[in-house]
Structure 1
């Protein structure tokens, strides 16, 4: 791994205002479909959770984990997640449930639009079927749950009024903190996290993520702000995560041509975003923007890391 250039990404962030965004690249409906379809014809295996064989809930868990979303292990457990949606309002990525045993929910699949679902069936393995099949599935349909909104996810945007972000202003159940970014990168790169001496005045050796924070600093992936702080509980923007990931994974420009209306090429940040896009790590939003000032959600952090990890040297 080549020597890193330090990233002085500071902690004085923006006041937040929420608004509905267009399809967010890392969790778009097309990503759901393409991720699920790569396993078509994988055989059915009771208890299976890998590409060598899936049962129904093992398949849905695998697909959603690749999208950065954690599901319960069983079909019954997954039925207890998310929000109920009617059949008339199904969206791509909704989980659809069936009673095939006569004893309640016993099968789950992923809705992919146009009345179709993809799932691991005991007779055919991973395959596409109609949820309204009058001979089988239509008679056994129980309901659907939405565990993630791939059509219209709410993100946080920064407005031009600087102020220190207070933890109470951000839902850190949804958005990733800088400490979580450090942990994810350290894990993906296999960095040594045994040392807990970070050198940051606001991260004591007893901090639960001190090892990861010390590791990313040592690797030259992060430096502190002008006051020598890491700001572990602050959020990180999408433009900042682009800088971090290009640096951490030694990314170089790939073969995919992509531009964004809110990205200025020729700047360090802009070029980092283009490098990410050129390697298929991000596709931006449906409106042609990248969302440079939007804060990174936990879901998108996981997906960005998963995609970038393919380039570990």
Structure 2
């Protein structure tokens, strides 16, 4: 992607109005999906004052790193980033807008990246990189404005086509698979990441025909013992919980325990996935949800699936 230098407010205005900026306003923009995937892969990275790498990030180091990977230059500190771009009202926030907060008595002492609506992602001092809501009591009273330093194109989402038969599996829970990861999508992503041979489409599962796009991946993972099915079915259009995901990842990547430091309040030693979640945590693949829990029964979101896989590569 061509490198883009973020401009002062007056220059940005000329780009938006098409005045005198030549070919710069025809440069290809990153998509919303690229922005979200890039920001989400750092979820769980710990907060480190002055940190600018994936081993530790502070708030402006996080925003700078994400934008750099998308081809844009941001200033180093939250205060200097606040001087870039053009002001945006809270009601007009779009994915990629920088959101600023007064947390220390300064106009812009903290910065995050809007995901659209009230959601944003940031590197918090006590949570590390995590998602948060502008409507929470803490952030709502500290919100101090937003800046648009770049515009992101429409997301080109690759959404699995779900047949009427597959929809029957999840009709009661009304899962939105543009947000959540289906078992079929997990299989495809894992097979791709592991470099598995997916040419054998003779599926051992009764609900996956050889013509299904999931057949090769599901069969390859079955051979590895990653997915064994439920009474002969794979249930490709059903969601996967975070606890189930832990078990799948540990098996798929043959992860071993490094040091059991698990402290999640919702994962007692008696929990069936305690060992698998402990292994993920000991390998730095997860730090939980930021509130002391792992979210064992929460369905895995596509962006979290991407984050987990990126940390395993």
Q: Which residue of 2 aligns with 1:39?
A: none
Contact between 1:237 and 1:294, CA under 8 Å: does it hold in 2?
yes
Q: CA, structure 1 residues 168+237, in 2 after alignment: closer, same or farther (shift >3 Å)?
A: closer
**CA separation of 1:131/1:269 partners in 2, compared to 1, >3 Å: closer, same or farther?**
same
Is the Cα contact below 8 Å between 1:175 and 1:296 reproduced in 2?
yes
> What is the CA-CA distance between 1:235 and the residue it aligns to?
0.4
Provide the C-alpha distance between the structure 2 equivalents of 1:271 and 1:168, rounded to a whole number of angstroms. 28
Distance 1:271 1:279, change over 3 A: same
For 2:234 and 2:216, how far apart are their aligned partners in 1?
13
CA apart distance, 1:255: 4.4
Structure 1 residue matching 2:264: 3-state secondary structure: coil
Taking structure 2 as the reference length, the TM-score comes to 0.55
Query: Larger relative CO (CA 8 A, sep 6+): 1 or 2?
Result: 1
Alignment-derived partner of residue 237 in structure 1: 241
Once the two structures are superposed, the pairs formed by residues 56-205 of structure 1 within 5 Å of their partners are: 64-68=36-40, 118=64, 119-120=67-68, 127-129=75-77, 130-133=80-83, 137=84, 140-141=85-86, 143=88, 145=94, 146-147=114-115, 149=119, 150-152=131-133, 165-166=170-171, 169-205=174-210
Deviation string 1:60-102 (CA, Å, 9 cap, x unpaired) is: 9877534458xxxxxxxxxxxxxxxxxxxxxxxxxxxxxxxxx
1:133-161 per-residue CA deviation (whole Å, 9 max, x = no partner) reads 3xxx3xx51535233632149xxxxxxxx
Deviations 1:213-264 (A, max 9, x none): 11111111111112x1110000010000000000110111124733101102
CA RMSD of aligned residues (A): 3.7
Helix, strand or coil: the match of 1:262? coil
Unaligned runs of 5+ in 2: 6-26, 42-57, 95-113, 120-130, 135-167
Question: Is 2:289 aligned against 1:285?
Answer: yes
User: How far apart are residue 275 of structure 1 and its match?
Assistant: 0.8
Which 5+ residue runs of structure 1 have no aligned equivalent?
1-43, 49-54, 70-111, 154-162
Aligned to 2:146: none
* C-alpha distance after superposition, 1:259-295 (max 9, x if no partner): 1011022555111001101111111122211111000
| Conservation of the 8 A alpha-carbon contact between 1:198 and 1:204 | yes
TM-score, normalized by length of structure 1? 0.55
Q: How does 1:28-67 map to 2 (within 5 A)?
A: 46=3, 64-67=36-39
Q: Is the 8 A contact 2:169 2:237 kept in 1?
A: no
Q: Is the CA contact 1:178–1:232 (under 8 Å) kept in the aligned structure 2?
A: yes
CA contact (8 A) 1:197 1:210 kept: yes
Conserved 8 A contact 1:198-1:205? yes
